[in-house]
Chain A
Amino acid sequence: MNRQKLQRVLVTSASSVLAIIVALVICAVILLITGKDPVKAYSTLFGAAGETKVLQGMFNRATPLMISAAAVAIGFKMNLFNIGVEGQMRVALLSTAVIGGAVNLPAPLHIAFCFVVAMATGALWSGIAGWLKVKRNVNEVISTIMLNFIALSVVAWSFDTFFRLDKEGESTSLLVKTKDLPRSAWFPDLVDRRLNGMLIVAIVILILFWVLVWKTKFGFQLRASGANSGAARATGVNPKRMIFISMLISGALAGLVGMRALMGDVHAYQNNLAEQQGFNGIAVALLGRNHPVGIFFSALLFGFLGEASGRLQLEDIPKEIVTIMTGIIVLAVVIINEAVKRWDDRRIQRRAAAMVEAVS
């Protein structure tokens, strides 16, 4: 029994590992064609794995990716595509910076308060898409994409109009942000300035995700609805309710994605905070096969690539090769997964039939 489980795990990870290999190979070819040395590139990249600074940076970058991937993965379990993590995250960022900055509470309470605000506003934004899907049957892919852009505009305008604070006497370009969060809302670092404690929060979120989805009644019904809505419906699970709730949860998690940057680093909202975490979260979720353990390692991989890519500049290799790698990984993992799954399903079927024959 345990052996079968191990086999399943191996097969599932196989498509992810294969995808990474495919990406490495294709990127090596790209490097060669454009006159760069792939051996030098990869040795620089992976050689950086030995440095503590790089490893700390890896965990730091992985933190928002883990949360973002969890947000996306909850949606996937219900066959929902929440592409709106970007927008939900942004709305939560500004709201938390402003509301969290407006109160003063003792430290642990203040941090909890900020989390609540972030989750509530994220859920509010995703709830719009959820409501549209349930009540008006609007495809959530389109609505979340639209809401991303609307969030961009709304947040930029609100920030510009109401909340920005230009530092006196300095140029207004990069340092424009909201009022700083009070110290009680600063999330403590694990390693000063290098690794923020939000990593712990991210890991806790992954654990809670695992518990919710695989250990609770609700999680079971969620997975059943996503796997076979007809069967779930026949046992009385209300599909619309499930859709709406999972969009809310997804949005709540999305709201927390930016918190490391906000509460652990910059301590105020500025316009370029935590960009692209939404789409990268999708990549992490896909590579991690929507499972917390997979997400954890995928987030680390992407975090590592992001951190170590800086080293490539020193060797005159554009670090953007890493972005290309990410894109190829995403495409490759879903293609390979389809093929591998089909092969593995057939294998399991044959084995089961054979074992039953043997017994009878």
Chain B
Amino acid sequence: MSEQAQARGDFAVELRGITKTFPGVIANHDVNLSVRPGTIHAIVGENGAGKSTLMKTLYGMHQPDEGSITVDGVTRTFRSPTDAIAAGIGMVHQHFMLADNLTITENIILGNEPVTSRGRIDFAAAHARIGALMSTLGVDFDLDAPVSSLGVGQRQRVEILKVLYRGARILILDEPTAVLVPQEVIELFVTLKRLVAEGATVIFISHKLDEVLANCDEITVIRQGTTVAHTSPRETDRRGLAELMVGGDLPDPSGRDTHVRDSVLLEVAAIDVAGTAVGSKLALDQVSLRVRSGEIVGIAGVEGNGQFELCEAILGLVPTVRGSVSMDGRDISHTPTRERINAGLSYIPFDRHREGLLLDAPLWENTFLGREDNRRLTSGLFTRRRAIEADSRAIIDRFGVRTPSEQVPAFALSGGNQQKLVVGREMASDPKVLLAAHPTRGVDVGAQAAIWDELRHARDNGLGVLLVSADLEELIGLSDTILVMYDGRITAQLDPAEATPEMLGTYMTGEVQGARS
């Protein structure tokens, strides 16, 4: 950073009035961010709050609709990441962009390779320069080893080396600790503090408030696309932050009748599920829960803390290393998924595009998906097309899916209508247990209310629901009890009547409840 700028007391990065919309969604509006040089600055917020979009704007991956970007006192326009890199900004993405089979050196220098006079790559020079950066960071790698030999934490450090190699003085890290084990988290922050001591500036996005409070100098909180607060660890604590993150108004659930009956429809007993990479932490760690007939159990938590693996384990799509799953008294831990579904398990998936819909197929085929063993819709080996089409029309009517007909291919529908179709399909088979992941994601308010009504109605008739949601209003409005998941464990159980936003936020971001009921 230039001395004049420093003398002026300029910010390293200043975003003013940034607004960015995508079709149908306002991702950021009127966002202000001021980052002082030589600090670790955290950006905190829930999923969908707009943090990633903001950082992508800063890194030049897209242009803002309104607002200005100022770096080191100079206003800039970034048409592509190349411009941002030239301005000294480097970004370490949540999903690393490394080529496994190339060496560490090759990954770092790619696109910026030093050459000798004869046109070869000057590996000696590259090694020297990277070596200097490594000692700055306090790491040591065998630079000729392929990236595939590295663990997750190490790969992250290679990504950091990559941006430093290109002269980045301002580093953006997107959820850097999401994939790290505690030891690696500590190492990462040691590394970041060293960088900052050398004069760099670090911006990192996170929802893990403990880490944020322990390691950063300043915090900006973003909620629903806009800045709601700028604070520091000295001025606030976890509760305060959580409340800022999560917001105020929530429905009042008191005065509801309970329809919870005694029979346990779903029981998950102390299951462990292995993590994806070798040697990484468990995705699920001793998770237990129970869903009774007529009960909606809500799972709160920031996305990526094991909710997905929980659903997959209950469905039987991933093996459990330990523990058991039972439905209606029967142990289904080793039952194939299709049989579990036939026995009354339904699933509204997290990602309807990847797991819920056949986008090129007409709606009537989509409502048939997963229900091929339904006797009304098939006769023997054959499908009964008219019955399936009629059934599809019924679902479309009942759930208000807006479409010209059931012949339309699924991709032609808006996201909200696609979601309604999936919800309708999963409820149409009269299931015993419903796993509902973000059931009203992308759905407009009116349809959301209609889906909630359907869920409540089914619940009143005995359905047991495991509701995973990031929408606190939904969780509190529907659930009979709320469990909080963090880092693959269940860390709290709350009564919706007593839960406050700050309480929920606190647990969602790391605090473990003392006594569990």
A and B associate in one complex: yes
A residues with a Cβ closer than 8 A to B are: 1, 4-5, 215-218, 220-221, 223-224, 227-228, 230-238, 345, 348-349, 351-353, 355-356, 359-360
B409 contacts A235, C-beta separation under 8 Å: no
- Among the listed stretches B39-47, B172-180, B276-284, B359-367, which one makes contact with chain A, having 4 or more residues with CB under 8 Å of it? B359-367
B338 contacts A236, C-beta separation under 8 Å: yes
Smallest CB separation, A7 vs chain B (Å):
11
Given contacts A224-B358, A227-B358, A236-B316, 12 further A-B contacts (CB under 8 A): A4-B408, A215-B383, A218-B381, A220-B372, A223-B358, A231-B356, A234-B315, A234-B356, A236-B340, A348-B409, A352-B408, A352-B413
B355 contacts A230, C-beta separation under 8 Å: yes
Cα separation A235 to B412 with both chains bound (whole Å): 23
**Chain A residue contacts of B82, Cβ below 8 A:** none
A236 contacts B370, C-beta separation under 8 Å: yes
**Complex A-B: 8 CB contacts under 8 Å:** A217-B383, A224-B369, A231-B349, A234-B356, A235-B369, A235-B370, A351-B404, A353-B412
Residues facing A in B299-322 (CB within 8 A) are 315-317
B22 at the binding interface (Cβ < 8 Å): no
B404 contacts A230, C-beta separation under 8 Å: no
Question: Contacts A228-B359, A352-B413 given: A234-B381 contact, CB under 8 Å?
Answer: no
B337 contacts A236, C-beta separation under 8 Å: yes
B403 contacts A356, C-beta separation under 8 Å: yes
B411 at the binding interface (Cβ < 8 Å): yes
Cβ-defined partner of A349 (8 Å) among B341, B349, B411: B411
**Chain B residue contacts of A1, Cβ below 8 A:** 405, 407
A234 contacts B347, C-beta separation under 8 Å: yes
B378 at the binding interface (Cβ < 8 Å): yes
Cα separation A343 to B413 with both chains bound (whole Å): 17
B340 contacts A215, C-beta separation under 8 Å: no
Smallest CB separation, B307 vs chain A (Å):
15
B199 at the binding interface (Cβ < 8 Å): no
Closest Cβ neighbor of B358 among chain A residues: A227
**Chain B residue contacts of A360, Cβ below 8 A:** 402
Smallest CB separation, B265 vs chain A (Å):
19
B13 at the binding interface (Cβ < 8 Å): no
Cβ-defined partner of A348 (8 Å) among B354, B373, B412: B412
**Chain A residue contacts of B411, Cβ below 8 A:** 345, 348-349
Cβ-defined partner of B360 (8 Å) among A5, A227, A351: A227
Cβ-defined partner of A237 (8 Å) among B338, B381, B403: B338
B354 contacts A231, C-beta separation under 8 Å: yes
Smallest CB separation, A354 vs chain B (Å):
9
**Chain B residue contacts of A236, Cβ below 8 A:** 315-316, 336-341, 370
**Chain B residue contacts of A356, Cβ below 8 A:** 402-404
**Chain A residue contacts of B370, Cβ below 8 A:** 234-236
Q: Number of contacting residues on B, CB 8 A?
A: 41
B337 contacts A220, C-beta separation under 8 Å: no
A235 contacts B404, C-beta separation under 8 Å: no
Question: Contacts A217-B383, A230-B354 given: A4-B361 contact, CB under 8 Å?
Answer: no
The 6 closest A-B pairs by CB, nearest first: A236-B338, A235-B370, A236-B337, A352-B412, A355-B404, A234-B355
Cβ-defined partner of B341 (8 Å) among A216, A235, A345, A353: A235
Cα separation A193 to B84 with both chains bound (whole Å): 75
A231 contacts B357, C-beta separation under 8 Å: yes
**Chain B residue contacts of A227, Cβ below 8 A:** 358-361
Residues facing A in B327-358 (CB within 8 A) are 336-341, 347, 349, 354-358
Cα separation A4 to B405 with both chains bound (whole Å): 10
Smallest CB separation, B451 vs chain A (Å):
18
**Chain B residue contacts of A230, Cβ below 8 A:** 354-355
**Chain A residue contacts of B404, Cβ below 8 A:** 351-352, 355-356
B154 at the binding interface (Cβ < 8 Å): no
Closest Cβ neighbor of B365 among chain A residues: A220
Cα separation A224 to B362 with both chains bound (whole Å): 12
Cα separation A180 to B409 with both chains bound (whole Å): 53
**Chain B residue contacts of A349, Cβ below 8 A:** 411-412
Cα separation A215 to B414 with both chains bound (whole Å): 29
**Chain B residue contacts of A5, Cβ below 8 A:** 407
**Chain A residue contacts of B316, Cβ below 8 A:** 236
Cα separation A221 to B373 with both chains bound (whole Å): 11
Closest Cβ neighbor of B342 among chain A residues: A236
Pick the most buried of B315, B355, B373, B414: most chain A CB atoms within 10 A of its CB. B355
Smallest CB separation, A290 vs chain B (Å):
13
B409 contacts A216, C-beta separation under 8 Å: no
Cβ-defined partner of A217 (8 Å) among B381, B402, B405, B407: B381
Closest Cβ neighbor of B349 among chain A residues: A234
**Chain A residue contacts of B349, Cβ below 8 A:** 231, 234
**Chain B residue contacts of A228, Cβ below 8 A:** 354-355, 357-359
Pick the most buried of A217, A228, A231, A360: most chain B CB atoms within 10 A of its CB. A231
Cβ-defined partner of A216 (8 Å) among B361, B383, B412: B383
**Chain A residue contacts of B11, Cβ below 8 A:** none
Cβ-defined partner of B368 (8 Å) among A220, A348, A351: A220
A215 contacts B337, C-beta separation under 8 Å: no
**Chain A residue contacts of B358, Cβ below 8 A:** 223-224, 227-228, 231
**Chain A residue contacts of B413, Cβ below 8 A:** 352
**Chain A residue contacts of B315, Cβ below 8 A:** 234, 236
Cα separation A349 to B23 with both chains bound (whole Å): 14
**Chain B residue contacts of A215, Cβ below 8 A:** 382-383, 385
B407 contacts A4, C-beta separation under 8 Å: yes
Cα separation A233 to B361 with both chains bound (whole Å): 17
**Chain B residue contacts of A232, Cβ below 8 A:** 369
Cβ-defined partner of A352 (8 Å) among B341, B385, B403: B403
**Chain A residue contacts of B354, Cβ below 8 A:** 228, 230-231
Cα separation A356 to B418 with both chains bound (whole Å): 14
Closest Cβ neighbor of A360 among chain B residues: B402
Smallest CB separation, A221 vs chain B (Å):
6
Smallest CB separation, A209 vs chain B (Å):
15
B359 contacts A235, C-beta separation under 8 Å: no
Cα separation A302 to B305 with both chains bound (whole Å): 57
Smallest CB separation, B195 vs chain A (Å):
39
Closest Cβ neighbor of A356 among chain B residues: B402
Question: Contacts A5-B407, A349-B412, A352-B403 given: A231-B355 contact, CB under 8 Å?
Answer: yes
**Chain A residue contacts of B383, Cβ below 8 A:** 215-217, 220
Cα separation A217 to B369 with both chains bound (whole Å): 10
Pick the most buried of B315, B317, B383, B385: most chain A CB atoms within 10 A of its CB. B383
**Chain B residue contacts of A355, Cβ below 8 A:** 404
Smallest CB separation, A220 vs chain B (Å):
6
Cα separation A234 to B435 with both chains bound (whole Å): 12
**Chain A residue contacts of B337, Cβ below 8 A:** 233-236
Cα separation A181 to B360 with both chains bound (whole Å): 48
**Chain B residue contacts of A351, Cβ below 8 A:** 404, 412
Cα separation A231 to B317 with both chains bound (whole Å): 12
**Chain B residue contacts of A238, Cβ below 8 A:** 336
**Chain A residue contacts of B359, Cβ below 8 A:** 227-228
Pick the most buried of B317, B365, B403, B404: most chain A CB atoms within 10 A of its CB. B404
Smallest CB separation, A279 vs chain B (Å):
28
Cα separation A231 to B349 with both chains bound (whole Å): 9
Cα separation A230 to B358 with both chains bound (whole Å): 10
